[in-house]
Amino acid sequence: MTVELPALERADLVESHTPNRLRRYARPALGLLLPVGIALVWELVVWLGLSNGRLVPPPTKIFATIMELARSGELARHITATLTRVVLGFGLGVIAGTVLGAVSGYWGVARRLLDPTVQALRAIPSIAWVPLFILWLGIFETSKIALIAVGVFFPVYLGVMGAILSVDRKIVEVGRTFRLSGPAMIRRILLPAVLPAYVVSLRVGLGLGWMFVVAAEFMGASEGLGYLLIDGQQLGKPAQILAAIVIFAILGKTTDWLIEIASAPLLRWQDAFSRPGGGA
Amino acid sequence: MLVLNTVGKTYPNGVHALERFSADIGIGEIIAIIGGSGCGKSTLLRAIAGLDRATSGTVTLDGEAITAPHPKIGIIFQEPRLLPWLSVADNIGFGLSELPPALRREKVALALARVGLTEKASAWPRELSGGQAQRVAIARALVPQPEVLLLDEPFSALDAFTRRDLQDHLLDLWADTRPTLVLVTHDVDEAVVLADRVLVMRPRPGRLFEEIKINLARPRDRQSPLFDNFKRRVLTALDRSLDRSVPDADPKSTAGEAMWW
């Protein structure tokens, strides 16, 4: 009996560990099933000669194009150009959106003064600014960064203002009963309360930043991933277009993920439906 | 000594919530304010807390007029109102930010032990049950050692069993430093179990209707006939404050009275 017990325990352990490990790796893998499956099928279709794959090149061809661009150093140059524009535009848009959003969220007079104008400007499709920006700021970097910043500004502004306006009055009252000064109230009550919505608005803003960098690079650029797209279209190189799209996807997902992991330690307290480990 | 002198409140929208409420509340006294809805109980408490300013009359604590939240006055709300981004321990220490960290930790640890939540020190508020969360709120209000603790229907959102548990617990904590307690409630049982004096209010506009002294030694036995007697007295006063018939009056005769014309 005593000899058998450890064996039993071990069997128990093994049994309880396997499903856990399976779940840990199987879940992300599930998300890969569809895109990888489609890629494999298309590869097979072209390989079998059912399609010539000229307009829709198979994955191996796209991958080869990316490798070729990488080898010649072209890829690094284009990525750097695009990334620099996004980072600068995103940074400016976030700063402006945060400051103005905070001012009009916190201060009623500023909101009544500022918000109608900002809302009216928001109704203008951002691309409509392109001709004006080119006239004002020239065809080079400044106008591109300005366009991206405008795209990023609005969701951040709205997110910050809305978040401040919706901070629970009851929680603010707790701060009042402990006689927090204005700055202490902002630091200890408002900032943490606003943070979850702020992170969401940053992620939305970043998404728009990536969208507008393409628009900006369409309007005459000599480098950047958007230039690769236009170049691929004009020279009839669909593989190059798809290569640029794939890289956009990777960069967009990576930068979004960076915001997510940077904010995760600050948001552990959230009682949310889709908390990691909370099922769903 | 907490002195309420003809405190009145009319809201900007014209609602006359409270009229000429006066009371002298001694140090260490436990006062229960009870009344039907809309009789200005919470308005009164918020005026004492300094969260809202009375439109007439004054609230003074030890001769000092209260017009804004005061360090000697703590308040516990109906909801725990814990800050969800702070751990239980940090929530309790929220009002102690001026103290050096070592001293603050010590006080928080003491308070945690006192409310029996030491093992929850690093938990998030979302992980607490309703009763535990309210205990944290009590600890947070008590840890700066206020002279006056205001409670705005603090246990009304809890189940009956947890409520009784917390009422006993509150008395236990009160015995440590004996602050003045002013408790707003709509629960007659709660008022009689806790208070030295029950102030019954009547609505429209809210004002003091009757004061009932509860001369019962603590701990109070909720089953004793004396306890029942006080409960009935409070209930009768409440009924009269709402212009309802007293419970032991003959219902037929009142019905007839109303239809005499």
Residue-wise pLDDT tens for chain A (280 aa)? Answer: 344 444 444 444 444 455 566 667 777 788 888 888 998 998 899 888 888 878 888 888 889 999 998 899 888 999 999 999 999 999 999 999 999 999 999 888 999 999 999 999 999 988 888 888 889 988 888 999 999 999 999 999 999 999 999 998 899 999 998 888 888 888 899 989 999 999 999 999 999 999 999 988 888 788 889 999 999 889 988 889 999 999 999 999 999 999 988 888 888 888 665 555 443 3
CATH class of the domain comprising B2-84+146-258: alpha beta
Measured distance CA(B74)–CA(B134) in Å, rounded:
14
Residues B30/B196, Cβ–Cβ less than 8 Å: yes
Q: What is the complex's ipTM, to 2 decimals?
A: 0.81
Contact B51 A193 (CB under 8 A): no
Measured distance CA(A157)–CA(A153) in Å, rounded:
6
Q: CATH topology for A59-267?
A: MetI-like fold (1.10.3720)
Contact B83 A271 (CB under 8 A): no
Chain A residue with CA closest to B125: the answer is: A269
Residues of chain B with pLDDT under 70: 244-261
Among A124, A137, A139, A131, CA closest to A92: A137
User: Cα Rg for chain A, rounded, in angstroms?
Assistant: 25
Touching check for B252 and chain A: CB below 8 Å? Answer: no
Chain B residue with CA closest to A268: the answer is: B85
Query: How many CB pairs (< 8 A) connect A and B?
Result: 44
Identify the pLDDT of residue B261.
38
Contact A171 B77 (CB under 8 A): no
Identify the pLDDT of residue A7.
43
Residues B179/B28, Cβ–Cβ less than 8 Å: yes
Chain B residue with CA closest to A194: the answer is: B85
Q: What residues of chain B lie within 8 A of the CB of A271, using their CB?
A: 84, 124, 126
Q: What residues of chain A lie within 8 A of the CB of B85, using their CB?
A: 192-193, 195, 269
- Strands in B73-76's sheet, in edge-to-edge order, are B73-76, B148-152, B180-185, B30-35, B197-202, B207-213
Closest partner residue to B84 among A173, A176, A269, by Cβ? A269
Q: Which of the residues B52, B82, B85, B128 would you substitute to probe the A interface, choosing the one with the greatest number of A C-beta atoms within 10 Å?
A: B85
Q: Is the dihedral of CA A210, A215, A217, A218 positive or negative?
A: positive
Touching check for B68 and chain A: CB below 8 Å? Answer: yes
Identify the pLDDT of residue A17.
53
Q: What residues of chain A lie within 8 A of the CB of B124, using their CB?
A: 268-269, 271
Domain range annotation of chain B: 2-84+146-258
Identify the pLDDT of residue B62.
86
CA of B96 vs chain A CAs: smallest distance (Å) = 9
Q: How many other C-beta atoms lie within 10 A of the C-beta of residue A267? A: 15
Measured distance CA(A251)–CA(A86) in Å, rounded:
11
Contacts (Cβ under 8 Å, ≥6 apart) of A266: A195
Identify the pLDDT of residue B127.
87
